[in-house]
């Protein structure tokens, strides 16, 4: 005949089994959470982006180190230092948009109407891909460019100086920005793209 102690033992065994079962399911859930494809995919893209970004930072650091050595050289006419200042002036003139700039790149023409957010996203994508100089509808784009005070009626023309193969392939690829904003663009490559100076 069952006594109270018998029921107690069976209850304890069942409780232990139940706890182990729940722990097992929880562990499975946490493992599958951690190894979800989206999480790993996101991490992989971040890592890839970081590798590329860090490489560029190292190059910039080396360039600045070289620049410092030249600026602090101790010679009679300080030729290297003067040349370094001249080189930096040329670079900053281009980046600040003060000079007309020419080089190889592409011209991107869009005939259909785009909304402001689409244009913001397209310019952002070009920045992400990387360019040396760019203009929008014959207006040079520099750090403080805004679509706020700009005529947003089509057609739209971007003149981009940079790696034309990279820019073209990135724009046209499946899932690229043109597909995302649903824009049809004519892309013309040239070795002599000209971006105007800021007004």
Partner 1 sequence: MIICAKIKVISAPVAQQIERSRPKGKAAGAIPARGTKMSKPIFRKISFSLFFIGLGVGLLLATQWKVRPTRAVSLIDPYLSLKNTNEKLSQEQSALKNEIAELHKNNSQASRNLKENETETKGKVEILEQYKKEIGLVPLNGKGIIIIMDDSSLGDITENSIAHAADLRDTVNFLWGKGAKAISINGERVVASTSIDCIVNTILINKTKITNPFVIMAIGNQNEIFDSLKDSNSLSDIKSRVSEEGLKFEIKKEEVNIPVFNGSFLVKNAKSIN
Q: What is the DSSP letter of 79?
A: H
Q: Which residue has the tokens 């073209």?
A: 168
Residue numbers 27-66 binding partner 1 by CB under 8 A: 27-28, 31, 34-35, 38-47, 49-54, 56-61, 63-65
Q: Shortest gap between Cβ of 172 and partner 1 (angstroms)?
A: 18
Q: Is 147 in the site for partner 1 (CB under 8 A)?
A: yes
Identify the residue whose tokens are 């300080």: 78
Nearer to partner 1, 76 or 174 (CB): 76
> Are the CB atoms for 79 and 87 separated by under 8 Å?
no
Contact yes or no for 153/70 (Cβ under 8 A)? no
Site string for partner 1, 105-144 (x = CB under 8 A): -----------xx--xx--xx-xx-xxxx-------xxxx
Q: Is 149 in the site for partner 1 (CB under 8 A)?
A: yes
- Confirm if 121 and 107 have CB atoms less than 8 A apart: no
Which residue number, 185 or 195, has a Cβ lying nearer to partner 1? Answer: 195
Q: Are 78 and 175 in contact (CB under 8 A)?
A: no
Q: Among residues 107 and 132, whose Cβ is nearest to partner 1? A: 132
Interaction between residue 155 and partner 1 (CB under 8 A) = no
C-alpha to C-alpha distance for 197 and 112, rounded to whole angstroms: 27
Residue 12 binding partner 1, by CB under 8 A: no
Q: Is 79 one of the binding residues for partner 1 (CB under 8 A)? A: no
Binds partner 1 by CB under 8 A, chosen from 8, 26, 100, 179: 100
Among positions 164-193, residues that touch partner 1 (CB under 8 A) are: none
Residue 143: what are its φ and ψ, rounded to 5°?
A: -60, -35
**109, two tokens:** 């023409």
Burial string for 86-105 (b: 16+ CB within 10 Å, else e) reads eeeeeeeebeebeeebebeb
Q: Between 91 and 111, whose beta carbon lies closer to partner 1?
A: 91
């Amino acid at each position: 005949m069952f006594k109270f102690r018998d029921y107690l033992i069976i209850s304890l065994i069942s409780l232990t089994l139940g706890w182990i079962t729940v722990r097992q399911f929880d562990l499975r859930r946490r493992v599958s959470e951690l190894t979800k494809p989206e999480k790993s995919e996101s991490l992989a893209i971040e890592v890839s982006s970081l590798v590329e970004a860090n490489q560029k930072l190292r190059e910039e650091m080396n360039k600045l180190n070289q620049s410092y050595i030249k600026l602090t050289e101790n010679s009679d006419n300080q030729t290297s230092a003067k040349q370094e200042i001249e080189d930096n002036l040329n670079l900053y003139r281009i980046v600040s948009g003060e000079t007309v700039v020419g080089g190889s790149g592409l011209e991107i023409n869009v005939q259909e109407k785009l909304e402001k957010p689409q244009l913001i996203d397209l310019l952002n994508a070009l920045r992400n891909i990387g360019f040396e100089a760019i203009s929008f509808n014959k207006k040079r784009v520099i750090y403080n460019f805004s679509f706020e005070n700009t005529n947003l009626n089509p057609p739209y023309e971007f003149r981009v100086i940079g790696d034309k193969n990279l820019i073209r392939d990135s724009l046209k690829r499946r899932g690229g920005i043109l597909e995302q904003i649903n824009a049809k663009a004519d892309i013309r490559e040239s070795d002599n793209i000209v971006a105007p100076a800021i007004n």
